[in-house]
A and B are shown apart, each in its own frame.
Chain A
């Protein structure tokens, strides 16, 4: 039965996806994106609220109704221009932002039916431009050009760099790895965020005039103080949360046990899924256990499946309700045949005489009272130990910031978790002219919150440079 116009309003247009049975055999992108017709039809669902609520859910203040209106009216060039006023990485955000807990959570249409698919529309319009050829806005002829060093080229660094470059500053990004993009390149898999998309958006930031220096690990090659000696006026630290956490239980250093970081770096950054055409190997056995329940755990599990594992388990110490991963990713994983073992945690890894993992001793958990995070605390059930036979384990229980810069920078205040302390409003650290944002401040969070932090710091840095210039002029006159 055909839907009436009225009924249509409440149902979002679903996005085409690769079928599960096909996609578990390849690393190509799972979600295929809207066609032009689908995008326009979805945009037509927008109420164009006089007081739009969606914007408050966006860490980068995207003017959501305005760009959707342009899509609805098929003014695609105007739509992407609107998006790029606030967001330099829309093809990335359209794919990996948790819109359901941000903009879409506030959508008025969502009160009665499906909220507008803001993320899918953002992705559509960004891909439209990438396909057509990117327009680079003219550089501002700001008289306050300063020189800013950005440490790390992940979402926070790229955003801060793009905003500062647009304001007319000279910006240099220092990236420790051989490729810019940070977690977008090494962490998030190809099937969720194609690397050519990341490259295209990094290229856009470069076209804004940003100089990207790869193979430069700040803290080792240059300290923050040495950057100031190299005549930078300000430094932004956006080094992310790159240090993997381990369980600290017996047998954890057996072969076949990876941190999710190692597993994903081998697969995504080094393209181990194309070994031996590419030189970096990876070994995945028949039965894989992924410990943890976040997006990184889902990414690891789904990658393991694509690398030929017969059985992949997500082992999570709380229950389904507490899974921190995006619902969409949990559903994707389930469709692909990933199995879940809830209320379970390993207590010991078992290995053979060659030092390879053969199993893990687990204990069942029950949920107690809520802890500081507001989620119910898992409590081990005594005597419930059992052994799971596995030949590969991926530990995805979180990351903390890399400590090198913190160790080599005097006067930079950090927390007991190793994150950098900043002023919430400005992104200023306890060191003069040093700003920070993203996971290195918040601990592992989302791409978009890191971008929001990069934006905020860029604004503060710009204000600082303006002030500095004024002072200099006053001295001269």
Chain B
């Protein structure tokens, strides 16, 4: 049992919770994730670790309420418990001093990008971050990202804050203006990661993406998270979650992520119909 110690709403449907998990807090590294299971009937869902505090024995996750599991997670109050939290899982990010790094992130992906950007900054890199969202009120971790970035740019699809358009457009603009990047990270919705990869590819900037494939165990057993990278099948949980953006088959990833949309909808309807009890 893992107790919820803190809970915040960062934006509509985007929540942050701190969980007591001392063993994981001691071992976590940037780029890793945990698998959560809410209760006996719950599914196993992967969520990226955003922060961890070994002294306090606490980890932080941020999630968007999109399915029954994240709705249940969002409904938890401080003091309530999550049945299972397994981790840290996945390979940590490869952090060294690369020089100048662009951290391009969008939506709730910003939560996954933040610890990596922070580690890159601590390793001596110049961090230029580009943070995006559909609209201003969905922007998260703005202050946190600003603190660890040498420069930060914001973009919103509707132009309510920062540049109007996509994060990939901002990156292209910066490169054209003469910004030099030794490495880029792109973390967010697959469409955004694909667009960013396309930009950096044309400028030959090495780019890493962190993939959010569907997972069941998250430990290499099911292969649900398989993704084609450079023509080979890889498991996001075991070989990733980070891969070379220029050789990831994003079209396949996007299709695989849609596999259970109708079941998710059915489950949410049932969940909402009876206030979360799912008695049917």
- Say yes or no: B216 contacts A280, CB within 8 Å: yes
Is B177 located at the chain interface by the 8 A CB criterion?
Answer: no
Interface positions of B from 48 to 69, Cβ below 8 Å from A = 68-69
Which residues of chain A are near B264, meaning CB under 8 Å?
281
- Complex alpha-carbon distance, A243 and B252, angstroms: 21
Instruction: Name B85's closest neighbour in chain A (CB-CB).
Output: A215
Interface residues of B (CB under 8 A from A): 23-24, 27, 37-38, 41-44, 68-69, 83-89, 216-217, 219-224, 226-228, 233, 238, 252, 255-256, 258-260, 263-264, 266-267, 270, 278, 280
Is A201 located at the chain interface by the 8 A CB criterion?
Answer: no
Q: Describe A's contact surface by its main secondary structure.
A: loop
- Complex alpha-carbon distance, A54 and B34, angstroms: 48
- Say yes or no: B233 contacts A246, CB within 8 Å: yes
Question: 4 closest pairs, A vs B, by CB?
Answer: A355-B255, A281-B263, A262-B222, A215-B86
Which residues of chain A are near B87, meaning CB under 8 Å?
217, 220-221
Shortest Cβ gap from A283 to chain B (Å)? 7
- Complex alpha-carbon distance, A308 and B266, angstroms: 18
Given contacts A176-B86, A355-B255, contact A265 B217 (CB under 8 A): yes
Is A252 located at the chain interface by the 8 A CB criterion?
Answer: yes
- Say yes or no: A253 contacts B41, CB within 8 Å: no
- Complex alpha-carbon distance, A146 and B266, angstroms: 52
- Say yes or no: B224 contacts A262, CB within 8 Å: yes
Kindly specify which of A268-276, A363-371, A446-454 makes contact with the partner chain.
A268-276
Instruction: Name A279's closest neighbour in chain B (CB-CB).
Output: B43
- Say yes or no: B222 contacts A280, CB within 8 Å: no
| Total inter-chain residue pairs, C-beta < 8 Å | 126
Contact pick for B221, options A253, A265, A275, CB 8 Å: A265
- Say yes or no: A253 contacts B263, CB within 8 Å: no
Instruction: Name A354's closest neighbour in chain B (CB-CB).
Output: B255
- Say yes or no: B233 contacts A255, CB within 8 Å: no
Could you mark each residue 340-354 of chain A with 1 if its beta carbon is under 8 Å from any beta carbon of chain B, else 0?
000000000000001
Which residues of chain B are near A354, meaning CB under 8 Å?
255, 258
Interface residues of A (CB under 8 A from B): 176-178, 186, 214-217, 220-222, 242-244, 246, 248, 252-253, 255-256, 258-259, 261-262, 265-266, 270-271, 275-281, 283, 354-355, 402-404
- Say yes or no: B263 contacts A404, CB within 8 Å: no
Which residues of chain A are near B24, meaning CB under 8 Å?
221
- Say yes or no: B238 contacts A404, CB within 8 Å: yes
- Say yes or no: A262 contacts B223, CB within 8 Å: yes
Q: What are 15 inter-chain pairs, A to B, with CB distance below 8 A?
A: A176-B86, A178-B44, A178-B83, A178-B86, A215-B85, A216-B23, A220-B88, A220-B219, A242-B220, A248-B233, A259-B222, A275-B267, A278-B43, A354-B255, A404-B220
- Complex alpha-carbon distance, A397 and B150, angstroms: 51
- Say yes or no: A280 contacts B233, CB within 8 Å: no
Given contacts A259-B222, A261-B223, A270-B43, contact A253 B228 (CB under 8 A): yes
Instruction: Name B42's closest neighbour in chain A (CB-CB).
Output: A279
- Say yes or no: A402 contacts B86, CB within 8 Å: no
- Say yes or no: B221 contacts A283, CB within 8 Å: no
Which residues of chain B are near A215, meaning CB under 8 Å?
84-86
Which residues of chain A are near B258, meaning CB under 8 Å?
255, 354-355
Given contacts A242-B220, A402-B220, contact A221 B88 (CB under 8 A): yes
Which residues of chain A are near B280, meaning CB under 8 Å?
277
- Complex alpha-carbon distance, A220 and B42, angstroms: 23
Shortest Cβ gap from A420 to chain B (Å)? 16
- Say yes or no: B216 contacts A270, CB within 8 Å: yes
- Complex alpha-carbon distance, A220 and B228, angstroms: 24
Which residues of chain B are near A176, meaning CB under 8 Å?
86, 217, 219
Which residues of chain A are near B43, meaning CB under 8 Å?
270, 278-280
Instruction: Name A402's closest neighbour in chain B (CB-CB).
Output: B220
Instruction: Name A274's closest neighbour in chain B (CB-CB).
Output: B41
Which residues of chain A are near B263, meaning CB under 8 Å?
275-276, 281, 283
